[in-house]
Structure 1
């Protein structure tokens, strides 16, 4: 039986620590996802999750899976053509690889600068950037966080990179800029169907993706009661 950890190259507390047993959060309680780590939690149909950038300028790699069948997941490449835009806005559905709504964005208090193009960082990415030593990364954080609540996965979907500022240029290039999110900015998401959500505090510290200080920070999660 697969554990979901077979392909993990760099381990941290994401593999053993959870926000709550089996990812069942208590409504109204604020939970901290530690810097450089990831956590998974469950959201029932109709419930609303608030993801807060409480310190500002921190990217959160975000995924969502159908609780009924984890082979159905939030898919950027399916969402973009459905919405006919690069980034969802309040009122938009978040679409899966089966072209169905899994979540709905209700509110975004930030300037709305997010990314749907860039794959999650992995150990291979850090090696490519000249850091061959083990480095925390969002791909491994996802695998560990899902396994930690008893919901292992194999495939790593492209994440919805909350607050990541990597706009495409007219010449076809991509700019890699510091986030414009402010302390306290949040996104509210409502579950259309039962889902498992994962938030990884991006550990990138080789570029200003998490701010000019290149110092990754934590993020907060709450299910509204």
Structure 2
């Protein structure tokens, strides 16, 4: 049985990626309570299979997953299970990862750190290349949806130290980005991205 890893840092505004064997889990920590962590999962044997919010919503019949739910790939297979969630459970599956184009639309005239580039960099750091950025599971991102279908930019409902544990259902790669958004209040009223943390948990006995 593998050992629990030491807690590692996802630096503010940056990304990290980690390989999981089937049965292992990753514990992602909202260290300061207000940080959104864009999260992706890819089949380690075939990176064209990945966690797909579109397919997951159809399977779950809800806008976001909860404890015990399987996270579903674009081939309609479970890749992770949300084994534990200590937060109020508000996560987002609607909003695409931010990119430099998005920040241009928000008024930036120079390059802005963004989750799309963080994903590509995180994958390269472990020797992998992908061509496209799937829509992420945005952990702790609060996107209110009104009865008329309109959406808003809410502040996270999470608290310092809240965790999500995702257990691998196949050999996979999990990538994470501590979202650099500092214009809208999705990382809290202060609009100040912070670091988050993670650790790999062993296969259960």
Same fold (TM over 0.5): yes
TM class by smaller structure: over 0.9
**1:143 aligned partner:** 120
**2:186 aligned partner:** 209
TM-score, normalised by the number of residues in structure 2: 0.96
Q: CA deviation at 1:83?
A: 0.8
RMSD: 1.1
- Aligned to 1:220, what secondary structure does the other structure show? strand
**1:171 aligned partner:** 148
- Equivalences for residues 76-87 of structure 1 within 5 A: 76-87=53-64
Structure 1: unaligned runs, 5 residues or longer: 1-24
- Aligned to 2:156, what secondary structure does the other structure show? coil
Structure 2: unaligned runs, 5 residues or longer: none
How far apart in 2 are the matches of 1:106 and 1:100?
17
TM-score, normalised by the number of residues in structure 1: 0.87
**1:70 aligned partner:** 47
How far apart in 2 are the matches of 1:53 and 1:26?
22
**2:91 aligned partner:** 114
Tell me if the contact between 1:115 and 1:167 (Cα under 8 Å) persists in the aligned partners.
Answer: no
**1:22 aligned partner:** none
How far apart in 2 are the matches of 1:157 and 1:169?
25
- Equivalences for residues 121-160 of structure 1 within 5 A: 121-160=98-137
Q: CA deviation at 1:48?
A: 1.3
- Equivalences for residues 94-105 of structure 1 within 5 A: 94-105=71-82
Q: Give CA-to-partner distance per residue, 1:24-53, whole Å, 9 cap, x none.
A: x97331000100000010011000110000
- Equivalences for residues 16-31 of structure 1 within 5 A: 27-31=4-8
Show structure 1 runs of 4+ deviating over 4 A. none
How far apart in 2 are the matches of 1:44 and 1:172?
39
